[in-house]
Every structure is written in structure tokens, then in C-alpha cells.
Amino acid sequence: MKRLDRRVQALQKTADKYRDKPFEWGKADCLTMLRSHLVAMGHKKVPALPKYKDAVGAVKALKARKHKSLESLLDSLLPRISPASMLPGDVALMKGKGPLDAITICVGRKVMGWHESEAGAVMMVPLDIKAAWRV
């Protein structure tokens, strides 16, 4: 199977799992979606997620794993790329509200993630991509 076909299949698996799923810290958030997506994309050494129930707990979990931000976590897992070169299935970090930024997954000209005005994970136009990584 061609590489792009594998990407699309893994992306569809991630989208099916999280589409319209309400945001819930530690169960349906950008970290859980990222981990699930990396596994679907065939990554073998994906670290287990710690338990957390809110933004403060997520920050503490990152720090316990020696990461000061989601950006440093992503840098430790994946090669950084230019946002303009993202392919479907690649990861983008966008400015979030509160102490954490938001991890999103490229679905072509849009990204998938959670938005405060929506009930579940949605496709949205990326407005403020801080960085991107090849998956």
C-alpha cells in the first residue's frame, strides 16, 4: 500500500474515534488523540499517558515527564517540519487557551481538534499554527 494511502487510513481511524466526541481531560483531549493517532500511524514507541483530570494535572504530567510544554514533548517524539509542508496525518501545535497550547492533526487544508465553541472534535481552518511535525 502506498504511503499516502496508509496515512489516510490512519487519519480516518483517528477521525472516526474522536469526531463529535466531547472534550474530556485525560479521556478525549489533544494528548489522547495524539497518542491514538501515533499508534494508528504505526509508531512503536509511543509513551503511555499519565492520569490527569484537568489542565493543571496535564501540565504536571508533562513536567513529570521532563517536558516544559507540549512543544518539547512533540520535539522529543517527531521531526519538526514547516507548517506549509504538512501532509494529511501530520501534527500541528496551535495557540490554545489557558496554560496549554492545542495539538491538532492535519486533514488537508483543515486540522482536527477541539474548539471551545463546538461540542466535540471538529475539522477547522488552522489560524495560528505555532509549529508542525511529520508523523
pLDDT in tens, 79-96: 999 999 999 999 999 988
Interatomic CA distance for residues 132 and 119, integer angstroms: 25
Under the banding of pLDDT at 50, 70 and 90, the label for residue 107 is very high
Under the banding of pLDDT at 50, 70 and 90, the label for residue 120 is confident
Domains of the chain: total: 1
- Tell me the whole-structure pTM to 2 decimals: 0.89
Given a cut of 80, whether residue 1 has pLDDT beyond it is no
Interatomic CA distance for residues 45 and 14, integer angstroms: 18
Q: Domain of residue 43: give its range.
A: 3-133
3-state secondary structure 90-128: CEEEECCCCCCCEEEEECCCCEEECCCCCCEEEEECCCC
Q: Can you give the CATH number for the domain in which 9 is found?
A: 3.90.1720.10
Q: For the chain, what is the total number of helices (H) and then of strands (E)?
A: 4, 6
Interatomic CA distance for residues 7 and 105, integer angstroms: 12
